[in-house]
Amino acid sequence: RVNISILTDFLIKLMKLPISFFATKTTGDIMQRMSDQQRIEGFLTGTSLNTLFSLINLVIFTFVLIHFNTTIFLISFGATLLYLFWILAFLSKRRELNHKQFLNSSTNQTTVVELVQGMTDIKLNNCEQQKRWEWELVQATMFKFKVSSLSLTQYQQAGSMFINQAKNILITFLSVKAVIDGDMTLGGMMAIQYVVGQVSNPVDRIVGFIQSYQDAKISLERLNEIHDLQDEEPVEKHLIGKLPEKKDLLIKNLSFKYPGAGNDPVLKNLNMSIPQGKITAIVGESGSGKTTILKVLMRSFEPQSGGIRIGDKKLDQIALKTWRNSFGAVTQEGYIFADTVVGNI
């Protein structure tokens, strides 16, 4: 249920975003954000419950250890704090690697999708080797990242193992000395070793919980980046649900450029009229902005300045569903779904 709920909310939000959003995001980026919900699901359904039981065991066996020997408890407690601080010191680096992993994974997914979808053009233009090299370059980058991530994990585990082993050796030494001095029985020493082991296991699970929490938090932040974006048509905006009787289109002083830094305006101070009931043909050389005019008229993109009127109403005052239900369009980038001809129509 958690998995379906998160994915459903994410898809609902995606479908409410403007088309311009998808012009600035790759397929792999969106797919990777959807995959991130698995970490959130795992954190909520599995890790949290196990950590709760670990905390209960930790509290119980801590009191038992205090009852047996206060000195050994203080050593165990100090080593545990040192262990936790050692793990926490790596969280910022783990966060950085998590973001790099996301970028690498999204790039890899985009590359694979493009290879599959563009296979016909790849083969017709004899560029199989070039595209394979591009894919191999992505894999090499991912391999370097995995080596860096593995090195960090091993370094973290080595420090943790050193702290735990030093703690165990010191506790064993003190327990044996107490037995030799007659301050503790052999059975008491065995009991302390068992209790220390029972205290260590919950601590390891709590450390795992902290790391899972960080991963889930980062994944949730990525999902919230999408949820925080403004909808294509805000709910609070009062829009007209019916087209005016007079449907002449008037474009006045319209300027538009595609999203992205450094892009030049495609349309600049455009003025034109499209009368109702007549056929209007827009003719021009390639790259002159014919398709762009159509995209702006369909409200796939919003102009930077100027405006469009339909009859006596501004086009941005008309509800998007009302406007898009009133026209049909076949664009150059039209997508063919894996469906029947009737379904695609």
3-state DSSP of 197-234: HHHHHHHHHHHHHHHHHHHHHHHHHHHHHHHCCCCCCC
| DSSP letter (8 states) at residue 47 | I
Give φ, ψ of 269 to 5 degrees. Answer: 50, 50
Q: Is the pLDDT of residue 127 over 80?
A: yes
The residue type at 237: K
Please identify which residue in the block is written with the tokens 């949290």.
48
Q: Which pTM does this prediction carry? A: 0.77
pLDDT at 294 over 80: yes
Q: How many residues does the chain have?
A: 345
Question: Regarding predicted confidence, which is higher, 211 or 259?
Answer: 211
Structure tokens at 70: 């206060």
Q: What is the pLDDT of residue 136?
A: 93
Contacts of 331 (CB under 8 A, 6+ apart): 291, 294, 295
3-state secondary structure of 335: coil
Segments of the chain assigned to CATH 3.40.50.300: 249-344
Average pLDDT, integer, range 217-242: 83
Q: What share of the chain is helix, strand, coil (3-state, %, to 5)?
A: 65, 10, 25
**Both tokens of residue 222?**
């990525």
Percent with pLDDT over 90 in the chain: 4
Dist. CA 148–CA 177, nearest whole Å? 44
Residues of the chain with CATH 1.20.1560.10: 2-227
Q: Which two tokens stand for residue 110?
A: 């985009």
Convert the pLDDT of each residue in 56-68 to its tens digit.
888 888 888 888 7
Residue 23 token pair: 């012009």
Please, which residues bridge with residue 36 across strands? none
Kindly state the average pLDDT of the residues 167-194: 83
Q: What's the mean pLDDT when you consider all of the chain?
A: 84
Orientation angle between helical segments 186-227 and 27-42, nearest 10 degrees: 140
Q: Please give the DSSP secondary-structure letter assigned to residue 237.
A: S
Q: Assign domain 249-344 to a CATH class.
A: alpha beta
Radius of gyration over every alpha carbon of the chain, rounded to an integer in angstroms: 31
pLDDT, position 315: 84
Residue-wise pLDDT for 24-42, tens only, equals 888 888 888 888 888 887 7
CATH number of 2-227: 1.20.1560.10
Q: Name the percent of the chain lying above pLDDT 70.
A: 98
Give residue 137's pLDDT: 92
Q: Beta partners for 251? A: 272, 308
Distance separating alpha carbons of residues 306 and 316, to the nearest angstrom: 12
User: Model confidence over 134-170: pLDDT tens digits?
Assistant: 999 999 988 988 888 888 888 888 988 898 888 888 8
Residue 236 has pLDDT above 70, yes or no: no
Q: What is the mean pLDDT of residues 172-186?
A: 82
Residues 6+ apart with CB under 8 A from 166: 79
CB 31 within 8 A of CB 106: yes
Ramachandran assignment for 277, one of left (phi > 0), alpha (psi -120 to 50 degrees), beta (any other): left
